[in-house]
Amino acid sequence: MQDNAAVDTSSRFSTKYIADNEKFLGWAFLLPAVLYILLLVGVPFVLAIAFSLADVTVGDTTLNFVGLQNFARIMQTPEFWQSLRNTFGFAITAQIITIILANILAVLLSSDFRGKWFALVLIMLPWSTPIALGAIGWLWLLDSKFSPIDWVLRYFSLLGGEGALLGVPKNLYYLGKAQLAQASIIMVYVWRMLPLSAVILLAGLTSIPQDLLDQAEVDGSSFWRTLFQIKLPLILPIMIIAILFSFIYTVGDMAIVFILTRGGPVYYTHVLPTWAYIKGIEGGALAEGAAIALFIFPVLLAAAILILRYSRRTEVT
């Protein structure tokens, strides 16, 4: 009996020790996330590196080392450089528009008004909608023949008539002309990322101490002075994080471009993810597709490090 009691006491002591051991609990809670990253991110990433340094194709997956030949080959094609320009051009332009509109939206939502909860629900719909479904909706809105946007423009005599502001043709062919297709993709990126950025900035605005705002009001600070000299500087670190998250998401997204244009007309709306898919999967050149997909990784990593370092410097204590 004494031995059993001793065993029970030792077991309880061991369990209590484990439950109070912060180092053990920390690793125990981190382990599932680490395994998830290693299995679903790390392994494919290493495999992509191996493919990019070999002559792998869909028909032959033998890893024959060829060095940097795949990178040199893709850099000699105009499609790659167009995709690279589009990737950064779309992302940067979309982030500038998104962060301006998100600040306006966050300021409006930070005030109390009737039906605010309903407005928040409507604003979050683009983010909560599956990206493929949303892109298909935009594909219909931007249709070359049956676009309701063109119908509205014709109704107000802005399109499809003599002296019309947008020209005589009855349709603008948004996805059939290079510049209009690029502008349409940027617009859809903004539509997709605006809700999340606005909610993140709204959280930052609502976290500003009310005493500080009351003091500014007592001192006679106007709305614009309070906004630009108090609110925006205080939420700048949060704003930078929102930009970083949105930028990385936009650069890595291929669904919008693939569904709307598949890189067309010609190859003028390709981004690196879509060109990597077309080249590696549909074209069968897995090695070149992997090289295209990997090309942007060091650039994104450097951008993320710089943005995060700048975010830490802008923190107000």
Taking the C-alpha atoms of residue 244 and residue 305, their distance in angstroms, rounded to an integer, is 10
Tell me the average pLDDT across 298-307: 78
CA separation (Å) from 214 to 220, 222, 223, 309?
10, 12, 12, 32
- For 44-58, what is each residue's pLDDT tens digit? 888 888 888 888 888
Q: What percent of the chain has pLDDT over 70?
A: 91
What pLDDT, on the 0 to 100 scale, is given for residue 14? 55
The pTM (predicted TM-score) of the whole model is: 0.84
In contact, 256 and 270? CB cutoff 8 Å: no
Task: Reply yes or no on whether the pLDDT at 13 is more than 70.
Answer: no
Residues 178-233 pLDDT 10s: 999 999 999 999 999 999 899 889 888 888 888 888 888 888 888 888 888 888 88
Check whether 139 has a pLDDT greater than 70: yes
Predicted confidence (pLDDT) per residue in 154-168, tens digit? 888 888 888 788 888
All domains in the chain, ordered by first residue: 78-313 (1.10.3720.10)
Rounded CA-CA distance 179/225 in Å is: 38
Angle at 248 between CA 204 and CA 203, to 5 degrees: 10
* Proportion of the chain above pLDDT 90, given as a percent: 26
Residues in the chain: 317
